[in-house]
Structure 1
Amino acid sequence: MVNAKPASYKDNLYLAVNGEWQETAKIPADKPRTGGFMDLDEGVEKTLMNEFHEFANDESKVDDKLLLQAVRLYRLANNVEHLNKFHQQPILKDIQRITDLKDLNDLSEHLADLSADNFPLPIDVSIDADMKDTSTNVVYIEGASLILPDKSYYDDDNESGKTLLKKFSEGSVKLLSMIGYDLDKAKAIVEKALAFDKLLVPIVKSQEEWADYTKVYNPMEFSEYITKSKSLDLQKEVVDLINDTPDKVIIEEPRYLDNLGKIANDANFDDMKAWMLVTYLTDNASNLDEEFRQTIGEYSLALSGAEELQNRTKYAYHKASRIFDQVVGTYYGKKYFGEDAKEDVRKMVKKMISIYEQRITDNTWLGEDTKKKAIVKLEKIKIKVGYPDKIDDLYSKYEVEETASLYDNVINFHRIKRQDELDSYHRPVNRGKWLMPGHMVNACYDPSRNDITFPAAILQAPFYSLKQSSSQNYGGIGAVIAHEISHAFDNNGAQFDEFGNMNNWWTDEDYAKFKDLTQKMIKEFDGIPYAGGKVNGKLVVSENVADVGGLRCALEAAKTEDDVNLKEFFINWARVWRLKATQEFNELLLKTDVHSPGPLRANVMAQNMDEFYPEFQVTEKDGMWLEPEKRVNIW
């Protein structure tokens, strides 16, 4: 609870800035959180939903044929009466494909066509850039996913996990009964599905393990890979999917592959088949009609802690804007952001890169050779601002059939997308690809392309505004820009060179110093109590390295301006991290999110900056005091 008396900047920067807001802020009933990023998200949602509604009523207002398809999908997804006529019918043919599987040999025979059609499988294939040669696409081998978000939910003492599995079971039984199973049969199927899910728990990666990004790169000769299962024809699956025989594949989860025989065998076949059936049904239920969406929605609400599902119209908008994400994002960016703003932000990014270059040049713990290579990497970073210049050809293949069911349309789009991914094995890597659409309130760095993306939607107040002072803008978007640049030099990004290839460009001595510093960062956050749980320092280390580097660099940039005001800088930094979330969602974030909770990002990163202390007259007696030797600064 927040005290009635406002917190002082000296004791708690986050609460001094956001305490009053925290007291009165209401989490929207259909969302699990509210705050800085989410407020902007809601603004974008409201703006685009109004336009989609207008366009759906009058197509002549849409002058873009791709956007028109998105509007038609929105209209179809919102047409409750039309979808009710189909009810469970559209999914039955695909459920039949699973129920028709007679045994493991039969599954083995159909692995490729089931994979091409996005069915859940015990072992699957994806195509992406080779992390050691990012000009070429290669085959990655993936394991199955758990029902719950992380294996820690399955710990014996995790009450939330037990509650969620119960909720999932109840919803799955109801869904099975809605597609024609009697209650006893439905319960038996769900029990078997959960038994298979339980087998996966010890062998899949935890979110902490996934956070160590480079560990997904485990090349294996194809001739060796195909011997890894006695029961499944791994060779046929890969060859049929990519229409080629690769020399090697990349194993994302070696432990999983080593244990594949323990889960994919004759004794477990019925459980695996039940797991495939339940997973496919729960993944696709919301694409049927409103009754199905409400039924699976009960589990989503239990997981997030939100009070109610999005209304149907909002759901329809999000469905359309996700499937046509680049189309909608480009429309939003052009209308609400434009070329002038794009150029202005590009200049800011270039300024931050030059400040970063100076920081590396002046760095006291790096040797000259490593400095030179770091600067080369910095200068090669590709900047993507606002929205792409060209929309991917993929979207022109999406045609909405409004007389058909929503399910059939969505499944068709997913198949087209999946086929495009599989076909990319024979194409060079698309370096121009955008990882985020223009209407997303976020930003990212891609180590394999050495590029940074700033979608149009994040480039507004409190992050960025011409009405804000330069110091406020640097404490907002400046720190975000520098945060993404810092990802090039976090514990994951530091292992990739200027071309995005995984390649050690460090001297041994420098890398050892860097690892010591990242270890200090892990220690600084590990075990901090938050929302009834504790922060996992290893899970959040890469984002914290980017935060501290980003804030330091933004601070240096702010100091170059004539109107510098560091108070405003730190206050806006704390403002963008305001967050109020449900207990369930906080638990989910602590277990699965690679970012530290917003309030901690605001406070701890400010504590790491020496300039913070004189600016707010913070001394040893104050809550925000952190001994100089404990302050972590890397870049």
Structure 2
Amino acid sequence: MATINQAAVKQDLYDAVNGEWLKTAVIPDDHSSTGGFMDLVDAIEKTLMHDFDAMAAGSVEPDNPQLAEFIKFYRLAKDFKQRDANGAEPLLPCLKQVDSLSDFADLQQRMPDWIYDGLPLPFSLDVDADMKNTKVNALFAQAPGTILPDKTYYDEGNQAGPKLLAIYAQMMTELLQKTGYDEAEAKQIVDDTLKFDRLIVPWVKSAEESADYSKMYNPRKFNDFVNTSRYLDLAAITYSVIDGNPEQVILPEPAFFDYFNEVVNPDNFGLMKNWMKAKLVQRYSGYLSDDMRVLATTYSRALSGQKEPRNQAKSAYYLATGTFDQVVGLYYGHKYFGEAAKADVHQMVEKMIGVYKRRLQANTWLSADTRAKAVTKLDKLGIQVGYPDKLEAIYTKFKTHTPEQGGNVLSNVLHFNRLARQDMFSKWGKATDRTRWEMSADTVNAYYHPFMNIIVFPAAILQAPFYSLEQSSSANYGGIGAVIAHEISHAFDNNGALFDEFGNLHNWWTDEDSAHFKELAKSMISEFDGLDFAGAKVNGTLTVSENIADAGGLSCAEEAAKGEDDVDLNAFFTNWAMIWRMKATTEYMQLLLSIDVHAPAKLRANVQPKNLDDFYTTFDIQPEDAMYLAPDKRVKIW
């Protein structure tokens, strides 16, 4: 544990803990940030690249058939000589299909195939748990994404928006030319793409609006959904991908479908067709030649402030592992985590749930009824630690076609996409799988799934500084303990609280308790809203659920730390600040402020301890100190 200047904590906990590191930390040119989580990502990348390169070279044998298929695909991704020789050729069959579209009847005919292939369309269909009956999979219809990362970027006074669109336009013009269009054609396609994008913008949600889960549930009777479009037979399209007759379709962005005919109509057909071409080229350029791969990163790098694209080796690694993510995760989990660690961390999670349960039972602002239901929800909470017990069956169908078999990177990806989407649509109307992992074991993260009422801790996050046998118990509680309790708290944040113990969108609160909780949530919004950061301001509403989870996580972890014989709250708060160390480009920080439901890392480190009374006694924080918050302003929820 780093030695810190105790006096400096009074002014800024984050700087006191991380200040020396910040002075010397350098953001790699192919990153937009470094530190904390990113350091673990980089270490895992190095480890797995070493392992997979040895397998690709033939010096180590993959130990299962799915890993062997992954290695075959990894070899393809690494073979830039072949990729450069292929150029844009692998994409041309798809592009020609879009190019040859004549009208909506033509689109109608091709749409089922394109939905399976996951090609860009003016709306998409997918299958997920029905939020009001999460035991069954329902059909969802989604609006398309916008070019800019959030609709607020299109606002009149937003200075970043026009600059980013200019970079996007230049990049797309060059990419389209590499696929065979002349400059005039490429510019026309881009102009039309920008126009069609603008037509979408008014009818989609901002990041802040999307952060409210309750507003995602907008079921439409199937007949009403079918009548959404005057120009496409949505019933025929739906029946072509699912086996059955849905009673309803859920629309997370209902406004887009209310105004569907104003966007998707014969007058805009040419714009839409060119928008589809541009989206197709942008989406798949990363699977083609190296010059197209590099060029296709221009816009995203401008967004995040990343100076350089990844080199060939790293880009091939991320392309391949992203395609076989659960196969890679299972390999990582078995080799670098193992059953003993899995059992140990599972025990830690159960211990934190026990602490949380005691806190709920001692809660003074909930009525007995709501408190009992909260405890029931906690009792039903599913725990997934380390890595899945089994690999999803879909991966047994992933067979890599080598160049000798007529395969290339893109043809394989399109084939895998199709298999995965066919598998997804086959699950419509069937039981959901609560054991399914939505994050691979080599991912440095954790999550709570409100529709399943489960918490998931992949192996990758279960290491120092979050967790280590070489750290004190208090340091571990300030790291992984707070992360575990953070995920538990999501079951009771402003979104999670709307779902019952089975993950159903169902009110289990008394009116009085609900009103009180909303007031407490408002106080958390106020605590963060408008805080200055990176030349912009924090949106307290966008970040409220994560801030409630941080507050609950830290207070619960602190109680657990205090239950140990070797309690050291100095180490507890120090490690809490250390796990949030991060150095990032200004562009990346401003992007996150616009779209990320998490508050900036520095503020996560600094604001939550101010809400805990023990923080003041641990570091002798006085009213004149910058880290002081008056007792009546301290936000305490869980």
TM-score class, shorter-chain normalisation, is over 0.9
What's the counterpart of residue 223 of structure 1?
223
Deviations 1:205-233 (A, max 9, x none): 11111111121111111011111121221
- SS of the residue corresponding to residue 141 of structure 1 reads strand
How far does residue 97 in structure 1 lie from its aligned partner after superposition? 1.3
What's the counterpart of residue 279 of structure 2?
279
Q: 8 Å contact 1:7–1:19 — kept in the other structure?
A: no
Asked if 1:54 is matched to 2:54, the reply is yes
For normalisation by structure 1, the TM-score amounts to 0.98
What's the counterpart of residue 165 of structure 1?
165
Deviations 1:180-208 (A, max 9, x none): 11101110111001000011111111111
Q: What is the CA–CA distance in structure 1 between the aligned matches of 2:210 and 2:185, rounded to whole Å?
A: 36
Q: What is the CA–CA distance in structure 1 between the aligned matches of 2:115 and 2:215, rounded to whole Å?
A: 24
1:93-172 mapped onto 2 (5 Å cutoff):
93-172=93-172
How far does residue 159 in structure 1 lie from its aligned partner after superposition? 2.2
What's the counterpart of residue 444 of structure 1?
447
Q: 8 Å contact 1:528–1:534 — kept in the other structure?
A: yes
1:125-274 mapped onto 2 (5 Å cutoff):
125-274=125-274
Q: 8 Å contact 1:470–1:563 — kept in the other structure?
A: yes
What is the RMSD computed on CA atoms of the aligned residues? Answer: 1.2
What's the counterpart of residue 340 of structure 2?
340
Asked if 1:418 is matched to 2:415, the reply is no
- Which 4+ stretches in 1 moved above 4 angstroms? none
Q: 8 Å contact 2:526–2:540 — kept in the other structure?
A: yes
What's the counterpart of residue 571 of structure 2?
568
Unaligned runs of 5+ in 2: none
Q: What is the CA–CA distance in structure 2 between the aligned matches of 1:175 and 1:193, rounded to whole Å?
A: 14
What's the counterpart of residue 546 of structure 2?
543
2:607 to 595, 604, 609: 604
Q: 8 Å contact 1:486–1:546 — kept in the other structure?
A: yes
1:83-102 mapped onto 2 (5 Å cutoff):
83-102=83-102
Q: What is the CA–CA distance in structure 2 between the aligned matches of 1:578 and 1:198, rounded to whole Å?
A: 38
Structure-2 change in CA distance of 1:27 and 1:426 (3 Å): same
Please say which of residues 350-359 and 223-232 is displaced more in the overlay: 223-232
Structure 1 counterpart of 2:503, one-letter code: G
How far does residue 497 in structure 1 lie from its aligned partner after superposition? 0.8
Deviations 1:111-157 (A, max 9, x none): 32221111111122110011111111110111111011111111222
How far does residue 617 in structure 1 lie from its aligned partner after superposition? 0.5
How far does residue 55 in structure 1 lie from its aligned partner after superposition? 0.8
Q: 8 Å contact 1:137–1:426 — kept in the other structure?
A: yes
Asked if 1:405 is matched to 2:408, the reply is yes
What's the counterpart of residue 555 of structure 1?
558
Deviations 1:427-450 (A, max 9, x none): 311111001111010000001111
How far does residue 294 in structure 1 lie from its aligned partner after superposition? 1.2
- SS of the residue corresponding to residue 8 of structure 2 reads coil
Structure 2 counterpart of 1:630, one-letter code: K
Structure 2 counterpart of 1:340, one-letter code: A
Q: 8 Å contact 1:518–1:545 — kept in the other structure?
A: yes
Structure 1 counterpart of 2:232, one-letter code: L
What's the counterpart of residue 588 of structure 1?
591
Asked if 1:482 is matched to 2:446, the reply is no
Deviations 1:349-384 (A, max 9, x none): 001001000100110100000011100110111100
What's the counterpart of residue 313 of structure 2?
313
1:454-473 mapped onto 2 (5 Å cutoff):
454-473=457-476
1:615 to 603, 608, 618: 618
- SS of the residue corresponding to residue 10 of structure 2 reads coil
Unaligned runs of 5+ in 1: none
How far does residue 273 in structure 1 lie from its aligned partner after superposition? 0.8
How far does residue 251 in structure 1 lie from its aligned partner after superposition? 1.2
- SS of the residue corresponding to residue 427 of structure 2 reads helix
Q: What is the CA–CA distance in structure 2 between the aligned matches of 1:402 and 1:22, rounded to whole Å?
A: 46
Deviations 1:60-96 (A, max 9, x none): 5221211111122111101011112211111111011
Q: What is the CA–CA distance in structure 2 between the aligned matches of 1:111 and 1:536, rounded to whole Å?
A: 39
Q: What is the CA–CA distance in structure 1 between the aligned matches of 2:578 and 2:109, rounded to whole Å?
A: 56
Structure 2 counterpart of 1:287, one-letter code: Y
What's the counterpart of residue 534 of structure 1?
537
- SS of the residue corresponding to residue 464 of structure 2 reads coil
What's the counterpart of residue 525 of structure 2?
522
Q: 8 Å contact 2:493–2:549 — kept in the other structure?
A: yes
How far does residue 262 in structure 1 lie from its aligned partner after superposition? 0.9
| Equivalent residues, number | 631
Structure 2 counterpart of 1:191, one-letter code: D
How far does residue 473 in structure 1 lie from its aligned partner after superposition? 0.2
How far does residue 426 in structure 1 lie from its aligned partner after superposition? 4.4
Structure 1 counterpart of 2:294, one-letter code: Q
For normalisation by structure 2, the TM-score amounts to 0.97
